[in-house]
């Protein structure tokens, strides 16, 4: 499995390019770490990775929404992936990176303990989600590599579920 740190999703157009016929055999994920655990979601959801600017906290916000920040004149909500999945907040130290994702219909910035970046995975290595996983409701697949398993989550579904459970009645 290849790993590539970049600010955008998808194969690098400057690289040698995919082997003919390989496109349908491979999947690009975007990997993050939450504590020691590794998670990933589909890379095309990510539009860019940025350093998180000054955070404006929102009164009465749920814990998974630590605040908003301004990026190129746009105010984006920041979602704590660790809080959403594991109920343990990420330490938002200065300079922490955020992945800006488009989880229809919302555009949000996702933070985690660490950004691993792009992961290029042969489709044959993608396995079904195991029963009993801590976040199995949002798990799409599991990808093993030399560092251990990567849990692939359905990020749009996770964001929609967070929205649904927090929406005022």
Partner 1 sequence: MSDSIQLLLFQLGARVFAARAENVRRIAGPSLERPEDGVESALGDPWDPRRGLVVEVAGEERTLLVDGVLGLKAVPDSDFQALPAFARDVLPTAALAGFAMLDEVATLVIDLPTLLREGKGAALAPSEETPRHA
Pick from 40, 49, 84, 152: which binds partner 1 (CB under 8 A)? 84
Question: Stretches 28-36, 50-58, 91-99, 141-149: which one binds partner 1 (CB under 8 A)?
Answer: 50-58
CA distance 97 to 121: 23
Does residue 58 belong to the site contacting partner 1 (CB under 8 A)?
yes
End-to-end Cα distance, the chain: 45
Does residue 34 belong to the site contacting partner 1 (CB under 8 A)?
no
Nearest to 7 by CA among 52, 48, 45: 48
Does residue 87 belong to the site contacting partner 1 (CB under 8 A)?
yes
Pick from 27, 41, 64, 80: which binds partner 1 (CB under 8 A)? 64
Helix (H) or strand (E) holding 83, with range, is: helix 81-86
Placement of tokens 């303990």 in the chain: 113
Contact 69, 52 (CB under 8 A): yes
Does residue 68 belong to the site contacting partner 1 (CB under 8 A)?
yes
Size of the site for partner 1 (CB under 8 A): 39
Site for partner 1 in 98-117 (CB under 8 A): 105-108
Does residue 62 belong to the site contacting partner 1 (CB under 8 A)?
yes
Tokens read off for 3:
């790993």
Residue 27 β-bridge partners = 121
Residues that bind partner 1 (CB under 8 A): 54, 56-65, 68-70, 75-77, 79, 84-85, 87, 105-108, 134-138, 159, 161-163, 165-169
């Amino acid at each position: 499995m290849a790993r590539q740190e970049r600010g955008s999703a998808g194969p690098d157009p400057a690289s040698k390019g995919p082997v003919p016929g390989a496109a349908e055999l491979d999947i690009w994920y975007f990997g993050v770490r939450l504590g020691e655990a590794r998670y990933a979601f589909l890379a095309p959801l990510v539009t860019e990775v940025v350093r998180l600017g000054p955070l404006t906290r929102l009164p009465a916000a749920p814990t998974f929404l630590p605040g908003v920040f301004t990026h190129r004149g746009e105010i984006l909500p920041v979602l704590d992936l660790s809080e959403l999945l594991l109920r343990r907040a990420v330490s938002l130290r200065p300079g922490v990176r955020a992945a800006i994702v488009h989880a229809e219909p919302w555009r949000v910035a996702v933070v985690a303990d660490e950004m691993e970046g792009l992961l290029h995975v042969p489709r044959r290595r993608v396995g079904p989600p195991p029963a009993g996983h801590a976040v199995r409701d949002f798990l799409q697949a599991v990808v093993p590599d030399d560092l251990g398993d990567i849990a692939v989550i359905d990020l749009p579904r996770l964001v929609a579920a967070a929205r649904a459970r927090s929406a005022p009645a």
